[in-house]
Amino acid sequence: MTRRCPAIRRMLKIFGLVAAALTLLVVAARWVGADRWTARTRGLRSALDAARMPVRPLVVDVAELDGLPAPVQRFFRAVLTEGQPLVAGVRLQHTGTFDMGETTDQWKTFRSDQQVITQRPGFRDVDRVYLDYRSVHPVGIDEIAAPSHDRRGAL
């Protein structure tokens, strides 16, 4: 029995080292992935901001609504007032739950960060779904990138 103890100790030591190495590898992979995700979204926002142009005209002119379909005109006439400053861009942030189940309820927490500019038209949407309390799954980055208006998406 005394001869086996050093072998068992050696195996436990090797197992511990392998477990520590795998844990370190997982932590490093998550850190690198998060860093790449952050850099990509920062780059998209910078490209969208760099393509932004001044809004012209600066204020709402309801005469410009003539020629639009009647429901569109009714909507804009209800929410806009003559002389109101035009919106140059908006950033929307959402949090909530999302049902990912097709046949059964599988509600997951999500977070979304969207940026829209009106001159040159552009859009950036970054979505994350929390699969459980300790993991974040980047779902996608969508953009209609100004100035070329190429539509790109990634999952």
Predicted local confidence at residue 60, as pLDDT: 92
Q: Helix, strand, or coil here: 142? A: strand
Select the highest-mean-pLDDT range: 1-10, 63-72, 141-150: 63-72
**Cα gap 28→77, rounded to integer Å:** 54
List Cα–Cα distances, 20 to 13, 15, 153, in angstroms: 10, 9, 36
Q: What's this model's pTM, rounded to 2 decimal places?
A: 0.56
Residue with tokens 């992979």: 29
The tens digit of pLDDT for each residue in 24-79 reads 999 999 889 888 878 888 887 888 888 788 888 899 999 999 999 999 999 999 99
* pLDDT of residue 132 exceeding 50: yes
Are 154 and 140 a contacting pair, CB within 8 Å?
A: yes
148, pLDDT greater than 60 = no
Indicate if the pLDDT at residue 22 is higher than 50.
Answer: yes
- CA dist 144 and 55 (Å) reads 18
- Any idea where the domains of the chain sit in the sequence? 4-52+88-154, 53-86
